[in-house]
Amino acid sequence: MQLHTIDGVIILLYLVTTVIIGFWISKKASSSIQNYFLGGNTIKWQYLGLSNASGMFDISGTMWMVMLLFVYGVKSVWIPWLWPVFNQIFMMIFLSIWLRRSGVMTGAEWIKFRFGEGKGAILSHIIVVIFAILVVITYVAFGFIGIGKFATVFLPWQLSNDPSMNEIYYGLLITGLTTFYVVKGGMYSVVFTEVLQYFIMTVASIAIGIIAMNKVSPELLAQYIPIGWSDISFGWRLDLDWTGIMDAANSKITSDGWELFSIFFMMILLKGVLQSMAGPAPNYDMQRVLSTRTPREAAKMSGFVNIVLIFPRYMLITGLTILALVFFSDELNSMGDAVDFEQILPFAIQNFVPTGLVGLLIAGLLAAFMSSFAASVNAAPAYMVNDIYKRFINSDASDKQYVYLSYWCSAAVVIIGIIFGLFLGSISNLIDWLVAALYGGYTAANILKWYWWRFNGYGYFSGMLGGILAAMLLPSLLPTFTALEAFPINLCISFIGCILGSYLTPPDDDEVLKNFYLKTRPWGFWKPIYEKVKADNPNVIPNQNFKRDIFNVFVGIIWQTAITAAPIFMVIQNWINFGVSLVVVVITTCILKINWYDKMEDYPIDYLPIIKQSK
């Protein structure tokens, strides 16, 4: 792509700025391991929320959602429940508070807090560390390839005459720059660069939305979409017919297997609720929660992510989609069944974005890659240094030694990820299986750890292991099943492993369970432990907020869905539905303010007197 000099300068200025930030705050970050991995628990929740939103604003996911909106219309707001996107609602309502009360540094360290230091806890600790590191390496591999391909398309400088080598060189260059500022500044660097990246991406996203609104009127859009495309509601079937408009879209719906949309919706809702109740995976999302100053700020940070991520991102998604529908449909139709929706982005930039804004938009999209990459890279050394080296090898090293070792661990993770990325073509199926296996084995064990006292370290390990092995074998045993269809089977296998592992071994130590319950105070099946805690501390009361929390989750999911729908309706200029969405947002916000925000507690009111007494 040919860029104006102004656009090239903007892109270079952005890259230089991120490196300068890494240098600027590296001294503060390297003063202690707590500062390096968690920012010393001094970073304001608003900055962590912007950072978390920036890390989730990946361009690959954005382009996937452009394709979904293009094909499925406004009903596509439900499809990301596959992830599920509403896990942030469970986080903001209660799980972020429970997680932050632990005061630990990583997800693996939380396992020690929950299960103690017995053999079962050590096995659980090891499998979580392996889980976290493999996920990070996988993200780095895909990020490396994605950055290289993106840069080759959008940046004008040719580093090699061979297109494939040009992708590799760009991948190495941008990956190297990102790794440098992450390694130098740790969590401080990641957060401050991601805040910068967030604002760049937001300006670019809003600009694309406004351009699309000026170029595409509702009457013009109606000529290029099937009946029902603009409706968020659905019946038993999807009932979107692209015949004569874009036949390839019908083929896409058929291949996805989502025509019976009500059944699909019920399946993703069930899967989403279960995965959300399990809490965050040990990645950058968990690190942001553990980096907050207090449990209440952890919850506010998770809630803030819903607002600052969704609205601008869906302005970008909707803007790109309707520009493509109206001005790029002929080119897409000419591709037949091999239609490539990834061509939408370069088409929109080349034809509709003015000079100056092109540089800002490309810098924003580059920032989306870099922020996701940086967030993943920052998570890995915390596990390698804190949960392996410090716990099992050398617990007496100085903070500087731990930080320096983190530099090398970050570099090692990136190098391994790049090697995976270089051979991605030949190992893509393996990596897909790896990701499916890791997350497939995560749900059952991580639900039970919060809500059932008898669940022990052996149960956690056997449940995780059983789920991972099942997810690796099911694609071969049930080749006609999709991942969504295989999820209940995987869940059952993992659940059986959890139950057998727990009941065939002794319960965890009472003191460990009492400490966990007293500090975290979850609701669920904790009565035997509560009674033992109450025997020592008669003033302790159990968590009685189950009904309130579940109601707030229900309201929160409606709130999040309305926030998602509002920018879509705004950009397509469906003002009636836009107004309805805003009304729903206002009503649900008022309910959450009264029934969630005003009632949050850092710790149970009976916990602090116990701490003071123990001191």
Q: Does a structural domain hold residue 563?
A: no
Residues contacting 24, CB < 8 A, separation 6+: 185
Q: Are 186 and 406 a contacting pair, CB within 8 Å?
A: yes
Mean pLDDT value of segment 218-235: 95
Q: Does a structural domain hold residue 551?
A: no
Mean pLDDT value of segment 370-381: 71
Residues contacting 565, CB < 8 A, separation 6+: 74, 77, 232, 577, 581
pLDDT over 80 at 566, yes or no: yes
pLDDT over 70 at 189, yes or no: no
Could you say which of 505, 533, 550 is where a domain stops? 505
Q: What is the CATH number of the domain that holds 126?
A: 1.20.1730.10
Mean pLDDT value of segment 175-182: 75
User: Do both 190 and 289 map to the same domain?
Assistant: yes
* Residue 485 banded pLDDT, cuts 50, 70, 90: confident
User: Do both 330 and 437 map to the same domain?
Assistant: no
Mean pLDDT value of segment 66-79: 94
Q: What is the predicted pLDDT for the residue at 301?
A: 95
Mean pLDDT value of segment 470-495: 84
Q: What is the predicted pLDDT for the residue at 615?
A: 46
Percent of the chain with pLDDT over 90: 41
Which amino acid type is present at position 450?
A: W
Q: What is the predicted pLDDT for the residue at 425?
A: 52
User: Do both 387 and 450 map to the same domain?
Assistant: no
Q: Does a structural domain hold residue 593?
A: no
User: Do both 384 and 433 map to the same domain?
Assistant: no
Q: How many CB atoms lie within 10 A of CB 365?
A: 23
Q: Does a structural domain hold residue 544?
A: no
In SS3 terms, 523-544 reads as: CCECHHHHHHHHHHCCCCCCCC
User: Do both 363 and 259 map to the same domain?
Assistant: yes
Cα–Cα distance list, 311 to 53, 306, 307 (Å) = 11, 8, 6
User: Do both 385 and 490 map to the same domain?
Assistant: no
Mean pLDDT value of segment 367-389: 73
Percent of the chain with pLDDT over 70: 88
User: Do both 250 and 354 map to the same domain?
Assistant: yes
pLDDT over 80 at 183, yes or no: no
User: Do both 435 and 361 map to the same domain?
Assistant: no
Q: What is the predicted pLDDT for the residue at 303?
A: 95
User: Do both 387 and 438 map to the same domain?
Assistant: no
Q: Chain-wide mean pLDDT for the chain?
A: 85
Mean pLDDT value of segment 23-39: 56
Range of the domain at 112: 5-17+36-392
pLDDT digit string, tens, across residues 236-262:
999 899 999 998 888 889 888 888 999
Q: Does a structural domain hold residue 408?
A: no
Of residues 515 and 176, more confidently modeled: 515
Q: Where does 216-246 have alpha helices with state H?
A: 218-222
pLDDT digit string, tens, across residues 390-449:
877 888 888 778 877 887 888 888 888 888 777 765 444 545 555 555 666 788 999 999
Q: For 122-126, 129-133, 551-555, which range has the lowest pLDDT when averaged over its residues?
A: 129-133
Q: What is the predicted pLDDT for the residue at 223?
A: 94
- Number of domains within the chain: 2
User: Do both 376 and 487 map to the same domain?
Assistant: no
User: Do both 294 and 158 map to the same domain?
Assistant: yes
Could you say which of 462, 490, 505 is where a domain stops? 505
Mean pLDDT value of segment 374-392: 76
User: Do both 384 and 440 map to the same domain?
Assistant: no
Q: Does a structural domain hold residue 571?
A: no
| Paired strand residues for 525 | 452
pLDDT over 70 at 159, yes or no: yes
Could you say which of 465, 485, 505 is where a domain stops? 505
- Is omega for the bond preceding 84 within 30 degrees of 0, making it cis? yes
Of residues 56 and 307, more confidently modeled: 307
Q: Does a structural domain hold residue 220?
A: yes
Q: Does a structural domain hold residue 575?
A: no
First and final CA of the chain: distance in angstroms?
Answer: 65
